[in-house]
């Protein structure tokens, strides 16, 4: 017994529309999660940079005998392997704190309040 084929082996319009609708639904669910994950990763990277800067300041103060009111110099960037770090949001360099007891701050802290040491 031989089966006959008329040569039309494509998808119907309804089948294609269902596939497109499913892909659109999956994208609508996934894209906000990707944005949230990126923001969380940037916040964590910024906080870790601030911790590195604080550790570099403490090490610099210990090695140089700097007091609490001693202004921090750019020499602290030598204590960080990659030099002066930048905030992952906008790649803005971190400013020097005023003294060894002043915690470092993020240049984007005004727009991103979670970018600070000590939690939100």
33 inside domain: no
30 inside domain: no
109 inside domain: yes
CA dihedral (101, 106, 111, 116) positive or negative: negative
pLDDT at residue 6 tops 60: yes
25 inside domain: no
User: How buried is residue 13: exposed, middle or buried, by Cβ count under 10 Å (0-12/13-18/19+)?
Assistant: exposed
59 inside domain: yes
User: How buried is residue 100: exposed, middle or buried, by Cβ count under 10 Å (0-12/13-18/19+)?
Assistant: buried
pLDDT in tens, 62-88: 998 888 888 988 899 999 998 899 999
If one counts the domains in the chain, the total is 1
20 inside domain: no
17 inside domain: no
Give the residue numbers spanning the domain of 104: 38-120
H or E element: which one contains 66? Answer: none
pLDDT at residue 7 tops 70: no
Length of the chain: 120
95 inside domain: yes
């Amino acid at each position: 017994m031989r089966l006959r084929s008329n040569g039309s082996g494509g998808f119907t319009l309804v089948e294609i529309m269902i596939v497109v609708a499913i892909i659109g639904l999956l994208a609508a669910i996934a894209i906000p999660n990707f944005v949230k994950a990126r923001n969380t990763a940037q916040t964590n990277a910024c906080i870790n940079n601030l911790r590195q800067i604080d550790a570099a300041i403490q090490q610099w103060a210990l090695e140089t005998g700097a007091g609490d009111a001693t202004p921090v110099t750019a020499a602290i960037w030598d204590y960080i392997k990659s030099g002066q770090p930048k905030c992952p949001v906008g790649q803005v360099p971190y400013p020097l704190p005023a003294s060894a007891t002043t915690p470092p701050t993020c240049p984007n802290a005004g727009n991103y309040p979670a970018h600070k040491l000590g939690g939100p």
